[in-house]
Copies of this chain bind each other. A is one copy, B any other.
Amino acid sequence: MSTKASRSPSEDAPSSKITIADIAAEAGVSVPTVSKVMNGRADVAPHTRERVEAIIREHGYQRRSDERSRRSNLVELMFHELESAWALEIIRGAEQVAADSGLALVLSESQGRLTPGHGWLEAVIARRPLAVVSVFSDLTAQQLAKLRARDIPVVVVDPVGEPGPDAPSIGATNWNGGLTATRHLIELGHRRIAMIGGPERVLCSRARVDGYRAALETAGLAVDPDLVRYGDFHVQSGYQQFAPLLELADPPTAVFAGSDLQALGVYEAARAAGLRIPEDLSVVGFDDLPVAQWVGPPLTTVRQPLQDMAAAGTRLAITLARGEEPEHRRIELATTLVIRQSTAPPRGR
């Protein structure tokens, strides 16, 4: 953690890359100022910082290998929010791989903002991590460029948006999971099947909803738009989105809840309405958090291998940080249906 502020510009960088002295000359600032920007120090005027960043982006400065070896032994695991058992599964997978590689896992939270603010990124850069694993979060193109300019690879686990063609990422087969969950309900005999999706702008959630639609349509069933609602993945939104559906003239007999936590909200809505699960209502979740086994009745759900996804993402990040070429830069791990006691044929069958 103790790199010197000034570096001799005489040592050779790769031919297309430029030295700190070149950057300093082009920006009209001193070499120590460029170093401060490179190391995420706070004591640089914003417009100076931006000028230096722009030159770095343009020319692609890259640390020399002896600098790289002076990097810390930290892997940065970045969440947009540290909430629900979901986050803990991710942490466990990442921690295991980091520890096995002799690295320390640093945890940071961007406070529920999906795009982390400026201060967060400067703090990350100042720590000089080997790599960043970003969970369910979108970094802006500019933020990605800043990390790339410092040779810090970023892997996105369970990306919110489309990570771009060559951005390394680890996801799950969300579309397939949605298809399987809905087919399970159709096979039990349900025809009025509701869908409570996660946020509409989140890709992994849209994929689940599309899988739901595909299952209905390939079974020759129409999608009733009244039965498709969107929440925010948390318990309360499962309750709020599902409860009104029970007021319909022809209410659903089954629901695919889009996440385990939303499924718990559906449980609450059913309880409030005096409905029994699965006799009066079948419920399928998504994730297979530990809580899915503990609720009454235990929840049928689509298992997402969260620990494995985090482990794969951390391994990929470390591989990239070592300058090695990984076998795959984008991976989707399989989801599987876990049938427990919250699903049954509809009444009268």
Interface residues of A (CB under 8 A from B): 1-2, 70, 72-74, 82-85, 87-88, 91-92, 95, 99, 102, 104-109, 123, 126-128, 235, 261, 264, 267-268, 271, 290-291, 293-297
Contacts and interface: CB of A to CB of B under 8 A. Distances in A.
Contact of A294 (B83, B123, B268, B297): B268
B95 A82 contact: yes
A291 B74 CA distance: 32
Tally of this chain's copies = 2
Nearest to A104: B106
Contacts of A92: 82-83, 109
A1 B72 contact: yes
A95 B73 contact: no
Given A102-B123, A123-B102, A85 B82 contact: no
A331 to B, nearest CB: 23
Contact of A107 (B107, B261, B268): B107
A149 to B, nearest CB: 21
B107 A91 contact: yes
A209 B272 CA distance: 35
Contacts of A72: 1
Given A82-B92, A290-B84, A296-B267, A105 B104 contact: no
Contact of A88 (B70, B73, B82, B297): B82
Nearest to A88: B88
List 8 A-B pairs, minimum CB-CB distance, nearest first: A264-B294, A88-B88, A104-B106, A82-B92, A105-B107, A1-B72, A85-B85, A296-B296
A48 to B, nearest CB: 21
| Of listed A84, A99, A293, residue having the most chain B CB within 10 A | A99
A2 B70 CA distance: 8
